[in-house]
Amino acid sequence: MTRTFLAALLLASTVATPALARDRKPPAEPRAKNVILFIGDGMGIATITAARIYDGQKRGETGEENQLSFEKFPNVALVKTYNTNAQVPDSAGTASAINTGVKTRIGVIGIGPEATRGVCSEALAHQLPTLGEEAKARGLSVGIVTTTRITHATPAAVYAHIADRDWESDTNIPAEQRGQGCKDIAQQLVDAKFDLALGGGTAMFYGKNLGGRRADPAADLPAAWAARTGGVVVKDAAGLAAAPMGKPVLGLFNPSHLNYMVDRKPDTTEPTLTDMTAQAIARLKGDKDGYYLMVEGGRIDHAHHEGRAGYALEEAVEFAKAVQYAVDHTDPKETLILVTADHSHVFTIAGYPVRGNDILGLVVPPPGGGDGDHAGALKDGDPTPALDGKPYTTLGYANGPGAVKGERPVPQTGLKAQQQSLVPTGAETHGGEDVALFATGPGAPRAHGVIEQNVIFSIMRKALGWEK
């Protein structure tokens, strides 16, 4: 009797369980209505650490305990940045990977790795669709914000497909590659579908009669764009603030890149990165279908190339402010915010400085000494000497324009200093180590572990519900 009962029970459970399983649907994943991708160009982990300290010290804190806005995000991953043909990447290949989902060669934008850099016909044959193009096709608004020229590699990866990142204007295309159907990046922007594009690079859009460098002396690409789209072209912060909300906006605020934050004058007419981010969110949020916004803090990278850490850190702090603005002015239930870098730099933090030591100053060890050659042998407050008897800074570079020739001088310190470097190069180079990805909002938990850079593309598409 007992055996019969147990057998019946087991049979009932095996029959019933599949039906119950079919009825028990997994909870639907939250979808993002909007995606904001922040790219701190060249913002490697050492830059984040130094910027965190610098930001805190600006407020009178020791700095090490500080957190930048995006460091508070709950989801973090490490991102592998190599290009298909380069161990240490450039911004064109990396930004293309993020915006197309395909890793590609160094120096090309929006085209596959099969295409050779600088060959127009191959670029035309291997174009890759971008997230921005898909967003427009699906009815979303698209915005691009940068502190560089809007035709520079990272912003261009949102909308362009080109064989060489340097083809920003038609005069940049080599004579042997002209007439084959390849448009320069500025032309591609005004031909693209976007709702907002803000940055520098005026010279790429006009002929010499209007202060530009296009082949046609009378060229005026922004005017042609405005006539075709009904959009508004603005040239300063006041014009941007006054532009009507219901129309596309093209903002070009400098002939080249926007000025560094350190060099901004009180009477500047240029908007800050936070200003542009605020305008972008205000203008894009009205789209009921949502938006994709890419925001680049591009001059972090440029300052590192010059070996000027203080400039880079000031740009990074402004970048973090722009991220905080986005956090404060979007709905966390409907907006995925990602913060990452396209690549790192050969930037170091070293030397056993005391807690709270000026991050832009000389290495001063803790009272009683730090570690290394002079542990315990210095008076409290004295900087640590190198083996040449001279002090050195906490921040430095493995290569760059600050390399020492002959006898090493006492290094510069402070916000405008050029840090010393080891190997003499005309410009400091990128670094090849992984960078961080920080995420918050719908789909953010997918940012975890160590991932390939092109996976960021899938994280965004999955959050929007376009990919399983």
CATH code of the domain in which 87 resides? 3.40.720.10
Please indicate, yes or no, if residue 369 is contained in any of the structural domains.
no
Residue 344, strand partner residues: 431
Provide the pLDDT for residue 283. Answer: 98
Provide the pLDDT for residue 372. Answer: 64
* Range with lowest mean pLDDT among 1-10, 108-117, 155-164, 186-195: 1-10
Please indicate, yes or no, if residue 101 is contained in any of the structural domains.
yes
Residue in 432, 336, 467, 459 with CA at minimum distance from that of residue 82: 432
Q: Are 308 and 50 in contact (CB under 8 A)?
A: no
Model confidence, pTM = 0.94
- Assess whether pLDDT exceeds 60 at residue 10: no
- Assess whether pLDDT exceeds 90 at residue 211: yes
Please indicate, yes or no, if residue 302 is contained in any of the structural domains.
yes
> pLDDT exceeding 70 applies to what percent of the chain?
93
CA 468 from chain centre, in angstroms, equals 26
Provide the pLDDT for residue 371. Answer: 67
Burial status of residue 395 (CB atoms within 10 A of its CB: 0-12, 13-18, 19 or more):
buried
Compute the half-sphere exposure of residue 338: CA atoms within 13 Å on the CB side of its CA: 36
Pairing of strands 141-149, 291-297: parallel
User: What element of type H or E holds 452?
Assistant: strand 450-452
Please indicate, yes or no, if residue 406 is contained in any of the structural domains.
no
Question: What would the two tokens of residue 131 be?
Answer: 């997230």
> Residues near 431 by Cβ (< 8 Å), separated by ≥ 6?
44, 88, 343, 344, 345, 346, 347
pLDDT tens for residues 26-53? 667 889 999 999 999 999 999 999 999 9
Question: What would the two tokens of residue 180 be?
Answer: 């084959």
pLDDT tens for residues 94-110? 999 999 999 999 999 99
Provide the pLDDT for residue 23. Answer: 56
Provide the pLDDT for residue 378. Answer: 81
Which amino acid type is present at position 129? Answer: P
pLDDT tens for residues 353-406? 999 999 999 999 998 776 665 555 788 889 999 999 999 999 999 999 999 999
Provide the pLDDT for residue 169. Answer: 98
> Residues near 61 by Cβ (< 8 Å), separated by ≥ 6?
356
Please indicate, yes or no, if residue 318 is contained in any of the structural domains.
yes
Provide the pLDDT for residue 18. Answer: 52
Please indicate, yes or no, if residue 283 is contained in any of the structural domains.
yes
> pLDDT exceeding 90 applies to what percent of the chain?
90
Please indicate, yes or no, if residue 20 is contained in any of the structural domains.
no
Pairing of strands 291-297, 34-40: parallel
Instruction: Determine which one of 69, 91, 96, 141 is catalytic.
Output: 91
Dist CA 199 CA 222 (whole Å): 13
- Assess whether pLDDT exceeds 50 at residue 6: no
Q: Please confirm, yes or no, whether 96 is among the known catalytic residues.
A: no
Dist CA 53 CA 67 (whole Å): 8
Domain containing 62 equals 34-346+429-463
Question: What would the two tokens of residue 91 be?
Answer: 């911004």
Please indicate, yes or no, if residue 195 is contained in any of the structural domains.
yes
Q: What is the distance in angstroms between the CA of the first residue and the CA of the last residue of the chain?
A: 50
> For the chain, what percentages of helix, strand and coil (3-state, to nearest 5) are there?
35, 20, 50
- Assess whether pLDDT exceeds 70 at residue 111: yes
Q: At what angle do helices 273-284 and 309-328 cross, to 10 degrees?
A: 20
> Residues near 461 by Cβ (< 8 Å), separated by ≥ 6?
101, 131, 134, 467
Question: Taking residues 266-274, what's their average pLDDT?
Answer: 97
Question: Taking residues 403-416, what's their average pLDDT?
Answer: 97
| Total number of domains in the chain | 1
